[in-house]
């Protein structure tokens, strides 16, 4: 575990956290402009977080330690993944543990804790949100796993850094059928896991339709800020995974500062493009009926499964 590796990991976490609210702000702004609204400035999510962090912490007396712990676990797990996933360089200090299983289950850990927190306060909405979240997670997480697994088959390693490095070495693999199928599956999972339309509506205020928002209804002040920040960070992590697993070009293979700066620029461009695409698509689609969500996710699981199958036959 080299000092430069540690520096890269820390840099990834810091940059991800710092940029995540801006990315969300940008998506909201794009949506607003396309809908003909002026929209809030890009820094609005940061302002909201700052406001929430300054507020008093209020916790229901009916809750247990899980409720207080969940925002921290959620943010910590997302931050850890942000350090593991090869965003800037394939030589992150955490790369040795940068296993796809570790990443998927760290993300799932946050999901599970948030669902438990939704149940903890004992309100009907929290339970409803948790139940819906679990329905989605139960199909989304295996899809995520299988989709990345399809990529690891050709590399022969489940290490994310190795997968990325391998794709860099063999650019044609990015266009292989397995890769295409896995990308489609991962894109659907990204949308489901980050609570975007058509699965969930991040801007809704209707208690009965919410998924993510329903689970966090009982949170306020600094706790809510942590949950929101973690949600923003998860968006960056998912988009970053999507970007660098399939379009790794620009990523540094060393830890030289100049390369890292170039890599940061490259990943920023990729994230902005992906986020903009999602925001634009969101304008033109509506939220599907809740019971159609499992159908959508099941289809993405089939894609991921096909990706694995294909990767064995067509490499």
Q: Which residues bind another protein (CB under 8 A)?
A: 31, 34-37, 124-125, 127-128, 132, 197-198, 201, 203-209, 283-292
Q: Give whichever of 107 and 197 is closer to another protein, judged by the CB atom.
A: 197
C-alpha 200, offset from chain centre = 14
Of all helices (H) and strands (E), which one includes residue 123?
none
For residue 186, the minimal CB distance to another protein (Å) is 22
Give the whole-angstrom CA distance, residue 80 versus residue 236.
13
CA atoms within 13 A on the CB side of 5: 14
For residue 294, the minimal CB distance to another protein (Å) is 11
Q: Give whichever of 31 and 232 is closer to another protein, judged by the CB atom.
A: 31
For residue 82, the minimal CB distance to another protein (Å) is 28
Give the whole-angstrom CA distance, residue 242 versus residue 264.
16
Task: Show the tokens assigned to 102.
Answer: 């570790």
Task: Show the tokens assigned to 100.
Answer: 């796809």
**In this structure, are residues 84 and 98 in contact, taking their beta carbons and an 8 Å threshold?**
yes
Q: Give whichever of 37 and 50 is closer to another protein, judged by the CB atom.
A: 37
Q: Give whichever of 291 and 313 is closer to another protein, judged by the CB atom.
A: 291
For residue 289, the minimal CB distance to another protein (Å) is 6
Q: Give whichever of 283 and 314 is closer to another protein, judged by the CB atom.
A: 283
Residues in the chain: 315
For residue 205, the minimal CB distance to another protein (Å) is 4
Q: What's the Cα-to-Cα distance from 303 to each of 20, 122, 296, 312, rounded to whole Å?
A: 29, 37, 11, 15
């Amino acid at each position: 575990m080299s000092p430069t590796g540690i520096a890269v990991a820390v840099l990834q976490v810091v940059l991800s956290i710092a940029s995540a609210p801006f990315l969300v702000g940008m998506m909201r702004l794009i949506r607003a402009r396309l809908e003909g609204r002026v929209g809030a400035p890009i820094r609005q999510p940061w302002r909201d977080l700052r406001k929430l962090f300054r507020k008093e912490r209020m916790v229901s007396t009916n809750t247990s330690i899980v409720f207080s712990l969940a925002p921290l676990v959620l943010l910590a797990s997302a931050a850890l993944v942000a350090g593991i996933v090869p965003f800037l360089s394939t030589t992150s200090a955490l790369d040795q543990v940068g296993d796809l299983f570790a990443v998927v289950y760290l993300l799932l850990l946050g999901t599970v804790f948030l669902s438990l927190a939704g149940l903890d306060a004992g309100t009907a909405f929290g339970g409803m949100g948790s139940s819906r979240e679990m329905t989605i997670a139960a199909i989304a997480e295996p899809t995520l796993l299988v989709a990345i697994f399809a990529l690891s088959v050709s590399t022969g390693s489940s290490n994310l850094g190795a997968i990325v490095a391998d794709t860099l070495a063999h650019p044609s693999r990015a266009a292989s059928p397995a890769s295409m199928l896995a990308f489609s599956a991962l894109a659907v999972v990204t949308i489901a896991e980050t609570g975007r339309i058509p699965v969930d509506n991040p801007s809704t205020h209707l208690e009965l339709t919410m998924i993510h928002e329903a689970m966090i209804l009982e949170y306020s002040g600094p706790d809510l800020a942590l949950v929101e920040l973690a949600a923003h960070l998860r968006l960056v992590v998912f988009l970053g995974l999507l970007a660098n697993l399939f379009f790794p070009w620009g990523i540094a293979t060393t830890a030289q500062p100049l390369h890292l700066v170039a890599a940061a620029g490259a990943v920023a461009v990729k994230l902005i493009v992906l986020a903009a695409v999602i925001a634009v698509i969101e304008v033109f689609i509506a939220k599907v009926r809740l019971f159609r969500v499992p159908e959508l996710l099941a289809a993405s699981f089939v894609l991921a499964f096909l990706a694995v199958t294909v990767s064995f036959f067509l490499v």
